[in-house]
């Protein structure tokens, strides 16, 4: 189940890409979910746990993938219970956040209204208000109410 909380919260990881660089495990990179996310978000191919083939940058290390993909992998694989700042992701990560939330309990922190319009139908619990939302329209209405406070 996806849970969303807006604003500053204690113990969240504000800059997930830096945390990722110091915490990721090699098997995360070669997991089929990561391969798909890297292909979709970064338009790159995983060659091995330490080598990514980028059409723009050429061969790059795992630490050079986008901050959005790093954050998504933390959401998918980190089992510490930490809450990650999803505002470090672009809107192109929204459908993946929803997918990860379908696979496991996932709480994300946002500092802006992320565009979930590409995510299709989804359910999420808005922790600031305690309201369960169903789909992008309800998310947007609730997020805007929260941001107005």
For 90-140, write each residue's pLDDT tens digit.
999 999 999 999 999 999 999 999 999 999 899 999 999 999 999 999 999
CA distances to 3, 73, 81, 139, 142 from 130, in Å? 10, 27, 20, 12, 10
Angle between helices 16-23 and 67-77 (to 10 degrees): 60
User: In sequence order, what DSSP letters do the residues of 115-137 get, joined into one string?
Assistant: --GGG-S-EEEETTTTEEEESHH
pTM score, two decimals? 0.95
pLDDT for the residue numbered 63: 96
pLDDT for the residue numbered 11: 87
User: How many domains in the chain?
Assistant: 1
Which has the closest alpha carbon to 66: 38, 34, 98, 25?
38
pLDDT greater than 70 at residue 148: no
- Supply the range of the domain harboring residue 85: 2-148
pLDDT for the residue numbered 78: 97
């Amino acid at each position: 189940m996806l849970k969303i909380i807006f604003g500053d919260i204690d113990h969240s990881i504000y800059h997930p890409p830096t945390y990722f660089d110091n915490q990721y495990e090699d098997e995360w990179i070669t997991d089929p979910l990561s391969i798909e996310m890297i292909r979709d978000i970064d338009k790159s191919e995983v060659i091995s746990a330490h080598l990514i083939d980028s059409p723009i940058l050429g061969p790059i290390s795992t630490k050079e993938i986008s901050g959005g993909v790093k954050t998504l992998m933390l959401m998918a694989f980190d089992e510490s219970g930490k809450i990650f700042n999803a505002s470090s992701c672009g809107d192109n990560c929204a459908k993946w956040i929803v997918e990860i939330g379908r696979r496991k309990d996932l709480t994300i922190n946002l500092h802006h209204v992320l565009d979930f319009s590409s995510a299709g139908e989804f359910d999420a619990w808005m922790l600031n208000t305690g309201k369960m939302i169903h789909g992008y329209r309800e998310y947007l209405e609730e997020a805007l109410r929260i941001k107005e406070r």
